[in-house]
Structures are given as structure tokens and as C-alpha cells.
Structure 1
Amino acid sequence: MTKTNDPTPGDRRTEVRPANQRGAARLAAVQALYQLELGGGDIVSVVSEFEAFRLGKELDGVEYRQADAAWFRDIVAGVVGEQRTIDPLVHTALVEDWPLKRVDATLRAILRCGTYELLRRPDVPGKVIITEYIDVARAFFTDDEPKLVNGVLDRLAHEIRPDEFPAEAAR
């Protein structure tokens, strides 16, 4: 697995589809959840820091895209608030010998965000959610991680949204 040393997308950004404001919010939510998990701190401080210094701003030479702040807050708060529901779902969608706790922290944040949206954002088509988080994974990883995100979120989408993902379409 090849990943940048921090949860800031690297030079590969030019290969990734340009993010809209919700896409930028998703990317920032993954970064904020990574920061919460590894750096500690509380959700209010981390969200406030992102809104004040990152969303649509430049920080340490990195220019962050303008993001839908409400969408960002919803994802971060939703993942933190529903992690006890989200983590078992993600864990069961992973390969049997690869528990969630062994997954890279950035990848874990991506899977948690995608699962949250599949669960709580019925206003967004599941295929859109999956595609957006594959793009987020491509911003951070150069190997097979985007395929893993696709596989895990697709399995969960079939389970969580059976009307959108009929059983006969399941792999």
C-alpha cells in the first residue's frame, strides 16, 4: 500500500476528478476524522479549526478547496456520533482476515464516512456516494485502496439500500 505520510492529498490530485463543494467537504471530513483519531482533541475544536483555517483557505502551502461547511459538519458529527453502528458494518464488509482495526487510519476514515452517508443520507444516490469516496481514496492512495473502498461500500450499499441495489445486481 502506498500512501502519503499525512492525510493531505499529494501531487496526484491532478489525476483525480475536480471536487465540487460536497466532494471537498467529504475530503475534509476524512482529514478531520483522521486528525481526531490520531491527534486526539475534541470534535468541536477540530471542526472549528477546519472551518476557520482550511475550508477554502491556504495552510502551509496547501490550498484547500471551498467546501460545503454544513455537509462537512454533518459527516464528521455523524461518523463520531454513530461510530458504534458504523464500525461493525464496515468490519463485516471487510475480508474475514482483515479486521477494521488493521486498516490504515485514513482508509478507515474514508470507509466510515461512506458508510455514514449510505446510512443517513438517502437524498444522495448510493452510486454517487461510492464514486465520491473512491475519488477521495484516489487522492490519498496509489495502490489498490480505491478498489477496496469500492468493494466495501458496494457490499454495504446492497445491504443498507436494497431498493437502490437489488439482490440480482449483487456480486
Structure 2
Amino acid sequence: MAAAPIERPESSRTEAGRTEPKPANQRGAARLFAVQALYQLEIGGDDILSVVAEFEQHRLGKDIDGVSYRAADPAFFRSVVAGVVDEQRAIDPLVHTALVEDWPLKRVDATLRAILRCGTFELLRRADVPARVIISEYIDVARAFYEDDEPKLVNGVLDRIGRDVRPDELGGTAPRERP
């Protein structure tokens, strides 16, 4: 299992002059990989341990068959994947309530569900990360998969959830009731 990267303040240059990905970039990559892993868990029916191990051994920062995968913070990746799996029963009702009334969570495609679940998990459990950063990062993840309105949907849903679960940070509003 790979060790977590050493976080360097501001500078991302090593003594040898190489440029290393900044920790924030490694977290962004970890978020993207977490969404992919959760998609694989849902669609493939694999168990969490084998999916996480496969990503860590074959994707995070690896070169496989000419494809270079971005370096990612493995501890952050594991935290998000395990957190979503462990707390899905608490996460899904929040996402369902934040979606428009005629679009239930079960109608949302698996990739978008994974994005919304990851973002919601972080809003609930990663108080060390500002809510606006979480929302922005998952909008970027959505843009990696979609070109149309899905990034806007991610923004709206995560903003609603953020206002409910972090009212001091985002300025809360009354939660919307769904039938």
C-alpha cells in the first residue's frame, strides 16, 4: 500500500527541480478515482476491498499499457470510497431531497449518483475541507464526464445539501420537503 504524499506548502518543486503535483491536485484526482470506484462497485457488483485494491495497484499514479493515470492521495481516496459505502443510507435521503421533485435519485445515472454521493459525504464528514471547495471540486469531476447540464445539477444539489448541513459556512435555508 502506497504511503500518503508529503504535503509541501505553496511550492511543488523538489530539490532535484522536478515538479510534483500539489496535494490539492492529488485530492482532486482522488475524488475522480473515488467516483469511478463507486461506479464500478455499483455496476460491477464487486466488493469494496477488491475495487479499492485494484485502483491503488493499477490506477493511482500508474502507467499501464501506455496510459498514465494521475497521482492521487490514496488515503483520501480510501476515505471517500469507504465513507460513501458506510454512510450511503444517510447520504441518499439528503441527495433525494435536494433533487428536483420529478427526478428521484434512482433515475439519475450511476456516474452522476456517485458524484453526488461523494460530494455529500465530504460535506457531511470532511469539515477540514471548505464547503465551497468541495462543491467546486465535484463540479469539475462532473465536467470530466459530462458536457451538458449535469455539472449545473451537481452545483445545485450540493449547494442545497451544503446549506442544510453547513448553514454557518454557506448560509442555511430551510430544507425542501418532497412528497
Q: What TM-score, normalized by structure 1, do the two folds share? A: 0.85
CA contact (8 A) 2:120 2:161 kept: yes
| Alpha carbons of structure 1 residues 154 and 45: separation in structure 2 relative to 1, 3 Å | same
What's 2:52 paired with? 47
1:155 matches 2:149: no
CA distance in structure 2 between the partners assigned to 1:21 and 1:38 by the alignment: 26
- Superposed displacement of residue 64, structure 1: 1.2
Aligned to 2:104: 99
Runs of 4+ residues deviating >3 angstroms = 59-62
Deviation, structure 1 residue 60: 4.8
Partners of 1:95 and 1:87 lie apart in 2 by: 14
Alignment equivalent of 1:115, drawn from 110, 120, 123: 120
Please name the residue that 1:126 is paired with: 131
Superposition deviation, residue 58 in structure 1: 2.6
Which stretches in structure 2 are left out of the alignment for 5+ residues?
1-23, 174-179
The equivalent of 2:37 in structure 1 is 32
Shift of residue 59, structure 1, vs aligned partner: 3.4
Q: Which has the larger radius of gyration?
A: 2
1:57 lines up with 2:62 in the alignment: yes
2:88 paired residue number: 83
Superposition pairs for residues 63-78 of structure 1, below 5 Å? 63-78=68-83
* Cα pair distance change 1:82/1:167, threshold 3 Å: closer
Measured in 1, the distance between the counterparts of 2:118 and 2:168 equals 21
Distance in 1 (alpha carbons) for counterparts of 2:147 and 2:67:
20
Note the alpha carbon deviations across 1:129-166, whole angstroms, 9 max, x for none: 00000000000001000000000000000000001011
Over the matched positions of the two proteins, sequence identity in percent amounts to 78
Distance in 2, matches of 1:58 and 1:154, equals 36
Alignment length (residue pairs): 151
- Superimposed CA distance per residue, residues 88-107 of structure 1 (whole angstroms, 9 cap, x where no aligned partner): 10000000010001001000
Q: CA RMSD in A?
A: 1.4
Shift, 1:63, TM fit: 2.0
- 1:123 Cα deviation (Å)? 0.4
User: Structure 1 CA distance, aligned partners of 2:166 and 2:38?
Assistant: 25
| In 2, Cα distance between equivalents of 1:89 and 1:155 | 9
Shift of 1:62: 3.2
